[in-house]
Structure 1
Amino acid sequence: MIKSEGTDARSLVSEKLSTAFLVVGGGLSGVCTAITAARKGLKVVLVQDRPVLGGNSSSEVRLWILGATSHMGNNNRWSREGGVVDEILVENTYRNKEGNALIFDTILLDKIAAEPNITLLLNTVVYEVHKSDKDTISSVKAFCSQNSIEYIIDAPLFCDASGDGIVGFLAGAAFRMGAESKEEFGEKFAPSVEYGELLGHSLYFYSKDTGKPVKFVAPDFALKDITKEIPRFKSFNAKEFGCKLWWLEYGGRLDTVHDTEKIKWELWRVVYGVWDYIKNSGEFPEAETMTLEWVGTIPGKRESRRFEGDYMLRQQDIVSQNTHTDAVAFGGWSIDLHPADGVFSEKPGCNQWHSKGIYQIPYRCLYSRNIKNLFFGGRIISASHVAFASTRVMATAAHVGQAVGMAAFIANKHKANPADLLPKNLMEDLQKELLKTGQHIPGLELADQEDLVQSAEISASSEYVLTELPLDILKTLDVSVAQMLPLDKGKVPKVTLHVESAVDTTLDIELRISGKSGNYTPDVVLEQQVLTIVPGENSLSIEFSAALAEDAYVFMVLHKNPSVKIYHSEHRITGVLSVFNLVNKAVSNYGKQTPVEDIGVDEFEFWCPQRRPEGHNLAIQVEPGLSKFTAENIKTGVYRPTTAPNAWVATLADAQPSLNLKWDKEQKISTIELFFDTDYDHPMESVLMGHPENVMPFCVRNYEIKDGNGNLIYSKKDNYQTKNTIVLDQAVYTDSITINLAHPSQNTPAALFSVRCH
């Protein structure tokens, strides 16, 4: 029993923590930052002001995680972010392909709890920053509302991934809110005069059908005149819910930090007013048996403060895909700006302008230019208002967070501050460490002399050569399709395809490539042909006169003709893909991007894949066959298709695919890393969308590793992850290892992007 006599005042229970790295903000960016640093041995304290992790992706807000893949609605092929965020998305798809936000919460909590170097403080708010001098943070104070403990946390390095930048703000870090003028950075999409309007907050609701009549009595605060107040109300329907109603947005003309509670109340008025109209107007009879299951209590924030680093990313970096020597991450979401009036605006809910490919994000954007030991993660990195419109999305923010976590490791190792990594020529070390984890950085390849595989002689039981994709499915050519093929420089091979028609007609074919190496926007036409189609079956052999100046993916484009049916194949091959001239209104894709004025973006067509179970390759024969899938590809240092598949692929006829690594002398092997194909083209939205499978069809499920004497080193069943890291209980001394793989299915051969040994 505790008895306490009355007193004048009491102090909070206080607990002091010292750590190597403090991360404030437990959204997806902060989570990936903390995990990356902790896995490199740093002691990390992760402070989150909410009861769960994930920020806008959590069950409190329920926004799907997206980045460069953009709902598969742009030309960014194989662009899902790698590293820890990939691991999380793959795990979520395996456990939770239906997209339950509550289950996603548990996955993030599991990932953090699995890291012994992370101390997690939930429901804990930072409210005070202490500095050892005007440029250096020494500690922060934070308060946990659930245990009434005040935490004083000191560290040499800090990361603010809090969304509103509470640490940066209190520390005096330079920041901005609003839009820069055209003149400041030469951004054509920026306004003529700078202004303070922002992207607003959103708040979602979930509904469900109970199977019996349900009445709804709206709260008194609900908005009454929905059809008059909300110009876009006509686009509502009774079946849509969650973040598909992302445009339920408000607050862009207010202070999106200090007016958040006011903005939340207005969004509540909107949500309950909308549901009242759906239930009680009589316009939606299908809603009679439906009820509200959940309404958000925490708005999802888009924009508030943006902090200044040594470089500010700008529109030209995105559209022109500028290169940076200090590149550590990439983006690929559109430049996506919203009207400041949000749901009450007469304008469309967003204005998305895509670039032709993914772009580099430089390290100089990820730390404060005036607070020496402060990193930034998430949506508050150093970017102009226009560039922020692309970098703000969660998968991009998480990818950036991983770079920050690794930079903290490098800085800690050298007792350096964030900016010191540039003049101390430590950038190559940072980039190398990131690449090792599977973090893709456009234009960079991992060169690791410590990797024993680089000195090994590589051989395989078979190597796939693309000579034929068999005839399996006949589909009407009612949308233009292009088969992407990875070719060596030089003459384009002959391609044969098979079509049927009931009438005499023609088929327009083009051979295209991208004007920029590494892009997948087919904006350069190399050759055009018109083929004659007669009634019945047609076998069409196409001889191309074109030659390629460099290795690249080519697009064999077949323009739509509803009178023609063309054969497709059930075979799915790593690094081989079909794309379609599709419309995807969710990301402002109407088949072609056509700016009506000079706003600094390009005009081009969209050629995008279809989601499985659709998206079949064309049934073709290729002569000579494409030998782009050799065993030597495991040495490339690139773990996804780029200008080539970058993978070893076995033949389907090989009943027991195996890869052998042989050295001149015995090697000591303690760790083996394998990178499998979990389809970087699939966006893996975390909630709401649902996915056709929980394991990607290209991913090897079962494998075993043996030493030079045939002894089993390791075996794995039911793999579904991209990166498999095998830390052996005891080091193996051998002059060779053999990796035996099982094909994922009868239509998909085993593939492997990389093997690394240490």
Structure 2
Amino acid sequence: MILEDAAGPRDLRTVDLEADLVVVGGGLSGTCAAIAAAREGAKVVLVQDRPVLGGNASSEIRLWILGATSHGGNNNRWAREGGIINEILLENQFRNHGGNPVVVDTIIQDWVAREDNITVLVNTVVFHAEMDGNRVRKVHAFNAQNGTMYHLQGSYFADSSGDGILVHLSGAAYRMGAEDASEFDEPMAPGDDYGALLGHSLYFYSKDVGHPVDYVAPDFALKDVEKLIPRYRNFAASEQGCSLWWIEWGGRLDTIHQSEEIKAELQKIVFGVWDYIKNSGNFPESANLTLEWVGTIPGKRESRRAEGDYIMRQRDIVEQVEHEDNISHGGWSIDLHPADGVYSQRGGCNQYHAKGAYGIPFRSMYSRNIENLFINGRLLSASHVAFGSTRVMATSSAVGQAIGTAASLCLKRQITPRELARPEHIGFLKSRLSANGHYVPLYDALAEDNLALDAELAVSSELALNGLPHDAGWKPLVADLAQLLPGPLDHTISVPVLADADSELTVELRLSQKAGNHTPEELVASYRFALAKGEGSIDIPLSSNGKAQYLFVCFLKNGHVSVGQSNALLTGLVTVKKGGLKKVSTQERQEAPEGLGVDSFDFWVPERRPVGKLVAFSTKDHQSPLHVFAKDNLLTGALRPTSGPNAWVAAWDDREAVLSLEWPEPVVARTLILYADCDYDHPLESVQYHHHDRIMPHLVHEGEILADGELVAQFSGNRQAVLHFALPEGRPVRQLVAHLRNSQGQPVALLGLRVE
């Protein structure tokens, strides 16, 4: 029993918390920042103004998580973001085969709850910042659910709030809207006609209940849909949620202070659209559909963008500029939308892709004038044009891991983010990020702080690629098809073919101009093969002009011809077909308007399993292997395929593969880390997509770890890319042995190993 006598005005309950890092915003970018910092030993407070974490990926909004892979609809091979967001996506693939956004919520909550160093405050809104000169000292926040005021003091702060509340309150420099083309020499900068901001979207789900359901629209629902929405012909009764992302509006308004007005208009549109689908008579297939869910919170795209020491611009994306401090990557198209949204006469978006993934510099991840403030998510320091690519969630999540790791290093070294960007410090940040499975472009992930470099490495076998068995039938050449093979190559291969009539098949050899890209723009050779009706084979002389990069063996479209396929799956090998992907608004070729500052090129995209298979082939005349998946790859290079597979793979018949490390003298080590192949080429959208595999087939799934002959770890059912094994604490070790198996029948493969 609590009795409060009459009194004067009372103060709210107040709680004071101190942390090394205060993260404002619990979307994916803020969540990944908090987890990364906590894993590096920092004490973190994560503040979220909503009841759940995840932001646009949560069940409140239900947008799929996506980034550089762009649904697999661009030429960015093996480009999925690594690290923490990759962990979440791989776990979601296993737990959430139906693509349920509520399950996504639980996985994100699990990942945060595992970290003892994180204090989570949900339903808590930051509204004030206390400053000490050009440093944030404390923020004030209020939770209306528990009636509590929080005073959060920190050494470092990260604004991951999307709308930049802490950027605004702290006095950090920011901008809102589109720059003139002249400011950063950006031909893609939109004029007033296209508009300066991207709008909000509101999503909905429908459900087939198996019997007719009528629908009576609310009075506020939009009328005259056919008249007011020029794209009404694109509505389909079967589409829902993010498939109608272009139900967008608000780009002509202040997307922060007029957000409620934007939401009200979007509600009118959504309920009006559903009324049109149910009652116009144009969609008889909608008879049994009911409106199951409509979001109450719009998915926001753009508002404030903070200014860092560097502002990314169009050139950084299109030309893939190699900044010394690039510590993360992106690859989504420059995806700009008309500010009038669904009411525009224009298409829903205007997407232009680069020929490959690009780097994101650390200087764009902290404020240029508030010395202890990190910025990420939609607040990344970028122009409106560059923001069109960097804004997507998986890219923002990877940036979140980068700043969380950076904050922990700043704390340990007692330096500012600007000082961490200097050459004497940035290498250590790259090393820590790479050690945790995050991809740092053009960086040797294993060359620093790795005790394994001092040991003698031995493996039970190495796969020598002499061919792929023809055991998966035939692939009709209804479109140009290409098999990527790692170079350098100077071999001849034999490929099985089947013709239903006498015909001629053209095969081209192509390379990317840039070794790490996968856009086959450079013609190396062209061959024509006369085919007789029936089954046969063709001998193709391969040459990559001595270059250590992927060669595209292109089989050009011919409706009378099929090539043999293989059921084999092999790290760093993929087949692609020429053509676009409707989901990302691409045609077969990107034709860039003159003067727009982007490139014209063909799209070559993979088909997802189980449809996508490798081309069967064999080498001729006992030649040397096309490629050896050698053990040396375990101690050098990127932890994913780039210009080559970068992998050790055991021989096809070595199902109990063994690797060992032996040091000349015993070493004291804490952890063995193995980096498995989780197929970074697969997009792994979090909701609405059904992925063929629940556990990636390339992964090492089970095994044992021995230290000086003693069993120290066993694992089975693995579904993650980075495996940590604790070693005997404080005890010197001379030999480590790993017995590894793939329970799905594929060769054992690893992309690297590290001992710390």
**C-alpha distance in structure 2 between counterparts of 1:111 and 1:381, whole Å:** 24
Residue from 570, 574, 578 that aligns with 1:573: 570
Offset of residue 303 of structure 1: 0.3
Q: Which one-letter code corresponds to 2:84 in the other structure?
A: V
1:424 Cα offset (Å) = 7.2
* Amino acid in structure 2 at the alignment position of 1:460: V
Query: Equivalents in 2 of 1:170, 1:549: separation in Å?
Result: 56
Q: Is the aligned partner of 1:24 residue 2:24?
A: yes
The answer for the alignment partner of 1:750 in structure 2 is 748
Could you tell me which amino acid in structure 1 is paired with residue 296 of structure 2? T
Paired positions, count: 752
Note if 1:620 corresponds to 2:617.
Answer: yes
Task: Identify the residue that residue 114 of structure 1 maps to in structure 2.
Answer: 114
Secondary structure (helix, strand or coil) at the match of 1:185 reads coil
Q: Report the CA distance between 1:665 and its aligned residue.
A: 2.5
Contact 1:28–1:398 under 8 Å retained in 2: yes
What is the TM-score when the length of structure 2 is the normalising length? 0.97
1:557 and 2:564 are equivalent in the alignment = no
Amino acid at match of 2:642: T
Which residue in 2 is equivalent to 1:517? Answer: 515
Is the contact made by 1:181 and 1:193 (CA closer than 8 Å) also made in structure 2?
A: no
Which residue among 601, 615, 618 is the counterpart of 1:604? 601
- Give, in angstroms, the shift of residue 575 of structure 1: 0.8
Could you say what secondary structure the match of 2:308 adopts?
A: coil
Number of the residue aligned with 1:503:
501
What is aligned with 1:433?
A: 432
How far the C-alpha of 1:733 sits from its partner, in A, is 3.9
Once the two structures are TM-superposed, the CA of residue 195 in structure 1 deviates from its matched residue by 9.2
* Whole-Å separation in 1 of the counterparts to 2:273 and 2:500: 51
Q: Within 5 A, what are the aligned runs for 1:241-640?
A: 241-423=240-422, 425-472=424-471, 473-488=473-488, 491-544=489-542, 546-622=543-619, 623-640=623-640
Higher mean alpha-carbon deviation, 414-423 vs 558-567, is at: 414-423
Paired letter, 1:526: V
Matched position secondary structure for 1:182: coil
Q: Distance in 2 between matches of 1:110 and 1:137?
A: 30
Corresponding residue number in structure 2 for 1:184: 183
Q: Deviations over 1:2-28 (max 9, x none)?
A: 222333311111111111110000000
Secondary structure class of the residue paired with 1:396: helix
1:251/1:263 contact within 8 Å kept: yes
8 Å Cα contact 2:678/2:698 also seen in 1: yes
CA contact (8 A) 1:181 1:194 kept: no
Greater shift, 210-219 or 448-457, is seen at: 448-457
Give yes or no for contact 2:447–2:636 (8 Å, CA) kept in 1: no
Q: 1:724 aligned to 2:726?
A: no
What is the SS of the residue equivalent to 1:485? strand
Partner of 2:96: 96
Counterparts of 1:559 and 1:457, CA distance in 2? 46
Deviation digits for residues 563-611 of structure 1, max 9, x if unmatched? 0011100001011111111221221221110013220000101111101
Q: Distance between the aligned counterparts of 1:731 and 1:571, measured in 2?
A: 43
SS at match of 2:605: coil
Question: What amino acid maps onto 2:580 in structure 1?
Answer: V
TM-superposed deviation, 1:729: 5.5
Q: Tell me the SS of whatever aligns to 2:41.
A: coil
Give deviations 1:351-375, integer Å, cap 9, x for gaps.
0000000111001101111111111
Structure 2 Cα separation of the partners of residues 195 and 687 of structure 1: 31
Q: Which letter does structure 2 place at the counterpart of 1:65?
A: I
Give the whole-Å Cα distance in 2 for the aligned partners of 1:27 and 1:496.
Answer: 51
Other structure's SS at 1:151 match: strand
1:502 to partner: Cα distance: 2.1
Structure 2 SS opposite 1:661:
strand
Structure 2: runs of 5 or more not aligned: none
| Deviation readout 1:623-654 (Å, 9 max, x if unpaired) | 43223301111101421011111111011212
SS at 1:465 equivalent: strand
Task: Give yes or no for the alignment of 1:220 onto 2:219.
Answer: yes
SS of equivalent residue, structure 1 residue 682: coil
Partner of 1:38: 38
CA distance in 2, matches of 1:232, 1:244: 14
- 2:22 partner SS: strand
Partners of 1:335 and 1:353 within 8 A in 2? yes
Does the C-alpha gap of structure 1 residues 19 and 195 become closer, same or farther in structure 2, counting only changes over 3 Å? farther
Matched-pair contact (CA < 8 Å) for 1:178–1:385:
yes
Equivalent residues of 2:487, 2:546 under 8 A apart: no
Stretches of structure 1 lacking an aligned partner (at least 5 in a row) = none
- Provide the secondary structure at the position in 2 that maps to 1:207: strand
TM-score (norm 1): 0.97
Task: Return the alpha-carbon distance in structure 2 between the equivalents of residues 193 and 346 of structure 1.
Answer: 15
Letter matched to residue 43 of structure 2: K
1:487·1:628 contact (CA, 8 Å) conserved in 2?
A: no
Displacement, 1:383?
Answer: 0.3
Residue in 2 that maps onto 1:697: 697
- Using the alignment, how far apart are the partners of 2:440 and 2:596 within structure 1? 27
Structure 1 letter corresponding to 2:505 = L
Query: Is the Cα–Cα contact under 8 Å of residues 494 and 538 in structure 2 kept in the other structure?
Result: yes
Q: Kindly provide the amino acid, as one letter, of the partner of residue 530 in structure 2.
A: T
Counterpart contact for 2:23–2:160, Cα < 8 Å: yes
1:547 Cα offset (Å): 4.6
- Shift in alpha-carbon separation, 1:62–1:190, aligned structure 2, 3 A: same
Give the CA deviation at 1:549.
Answer: 3.7
Q: C-alpha distance in 1, partners of 2:55/2:242?
A: 14
- Letter aligned with residue 550 of structure 1: K
Which residue of the partner structure matches residue 3 of structure 2?
Answer: 3
The amino acid of 1:752's aligned partner reads: L
Once the two structures are overlaid, the 10-residue window that deviates more, 494-503 or 334-343, is 494-503
Sequence identity of aligned pairs in percent?
49
Distance verdict in 2 for CA 1:423–1:639, change over 3 Å: closer
CA deviation after TM superposition for structure 1 residue 194, in Å: 11
The offset of 1:492, in angstroms, is 2.2
Residues 486, 549 of structure 2: 8 Å contact kept = yes
Match of 1:566, SS state, is strand
Q: Which amino acid aligns with 1:235?
A: N
Which residue of 2 is the match for residue 678 of structure 1?
Answer: 678
Q: Which amino acid aligns with 2:588?
A: G
Q: d(CA) in 2 for partners of 1:372 and 1:663?
A: 44
8 Å Cα contact 2:446-2:754 kept in structure 1? no
Equivalent residue, structure 2, for 1:647: 647
Q: How far apart, CA to CA, are the structure 1 residues paired with 2:605 and 2:283?
A: 34
- Between the aligned partners of 2:484 and 2:423, the Cα distance in structure 1 is 43
1:732 Cα deviation after fit: 5.2
Distance 1:633 1:363 in 2: 28
Tell me, yes or no, if the aligned pair for 2:446 and 2:635 is still in contact at 8 Å: no
Q: Is the 8 A contact 1:411 1:417 kept in 2?
A: yes
Shift of the alpha carbon at 1:191? 3.6
Aligned counterparts of 1:716 and 1:236: Cα–Cα separation in 2 = 48
User: What's the counterpart of residue 55 of structure 1?
Assistant: 55
For residues 179-238 of structure 1, what are the alpha-carbon distances to aligned partners after superposition, in whole Å with 9 as ceiling and x for unaligned? 111111111111467996210000000010011121211111111111111111111111
Distance 1:699 1:424, change over 3 A: closer
The structure-2 alpha-carbon separation of the partners of 1:141 and 1:169, relative to structure 1 and needing over 3 Å to count, comes to same
**Contact 1:180–1:195 (Cα < 8 Å) also in 2:** no
| 2:707–2:727 contact (8 Å) kept in structure 1 | no
| In 2, Cα distance between equivalents of 1:569 and 1:357 | 27
Distance in 1 separating the partners of 2:55 and 2:342: 22
C-alpha distance 755-280 of structure 1, shift in aligned 2 (>3 A):
same
